[in-house]
Amino acid sequence: MAALQSAVVNHEAETYSLFRRVCPDCHRFRPVKDYTTRRIRTVFGIVEVRNPRWMLCRDCYPGMVDAFAPLREICPDRATSELMELTARLGSMMPYRQAARVLAEFLPVEPTETHATVRKRTIRIGERLDDQVAEEELHARAQTDERRQLEMQLPGDRRKEFVISIDTAHVRSAGSNSARNFELVVARCGRGGRGEGGGRYFVTGAANMFERRRA
């Protein structure tokens, strides 16, 4: 398994490094700065991979001599995502010292992998999850704000039109001491036509199908 892990990690590192060497503007190879060795920690031990550094394209960015290491983009923690996730899960379920002892008992980790390492990885994974949730909420809010209600254009006098809009949603485990779910019905009525003033809103809770038919 260790040999297979080493082959997979080296193949992924070489593939991504070659992909990042191609300039996205002119599609030519970027110049080589140098080659070093990078040690990546995995669940099966440490794997050494070739760590190139590419310079910026001289044709697209003349006069700039900056360089970057593509492996830092996919492995900034010098550890695979599987090891980071496993460490964070153990660190969130038990004390850091106990989690470090469990990792040392079942995985070929180095003596430098102490409780401080477990704490740092757990906090780092938690911060990334918080950032991911915040970004998803931001995108969801932006998509909700951009929604517009489409009205069907009916022939006749718009002032005589009466539009009713109904929407439903299920609220799970509404009560703190109850696991019962209930349905929330929101309705709006008003005059038809674009540009008309908003109508009134009506909200009902725990409405079943029979009650809605009677209404």
Q: 73 and 85: one domain?
A: no
pLDDT digits (tens, 9 = 90+) for 151-200: 556 566 666 666 777 777 777 665 566 556 667 777 777 765 555 555 55
Nearest-angstrom CA–CA distance, 9 and 81: 12
Q: 96-106 and 115-145 are packed helices; what angle lies between their axes, rounded to 10 degrees?
A: 110
pLDDT at residue 215 in the model: 46
Q: 95 and 42: one domain?
A: no
Q: What is the domain extent for residue 121?
A: 79-128
Q: 62 and 92: one domain?
A: no
Give the end of a domain, one of 46, 78, 110.
Answer: 78
> For residue 4, is it within any domain?
yes
Contact assessment for residue 97 and residue 63, using Cβ atoms and an 8 Å cutoff: no
pLDDT at residue 56 in the model: 92
> For residue 153, is it within any domain?
no
pLDDT at residue 133 in the model: 86
> For residue 50, is it within any domain?
yes
> For residue 146, is it within any domain?
no
Contact assessment for residue 87 and residue 122, using Cβ atoms and an 8 Å cutoff: yes
Q: What is the CA radius of gyration of the chain?
A: 29
CA distances from 128 to 14, 23, 74, 134, 136 (A): 26, 29, 14, 10, 12
Query: How far does Cα 16 stand from its chain's mean position?
Result: 21
pLDDT digits (tens, 9 = 90+) for 44-103: 888 999 999 999 998 898 888 899 999 998 888 888 888 999 999 999 999 999 999 999
User: What's the number of domains the chain is made of?
Assistant: 3
pTM of the model: 0.55
pLDDT at residue 11 in the model: 92
Nearest-angstrom CA–CA distance, 205 and 143: 27
Nearest-angstrom CA–CA distance, 158 and 148: 20
Q: 37 and 69: one domain?
A: yes
> For residue 53, is it within any domain?
yes
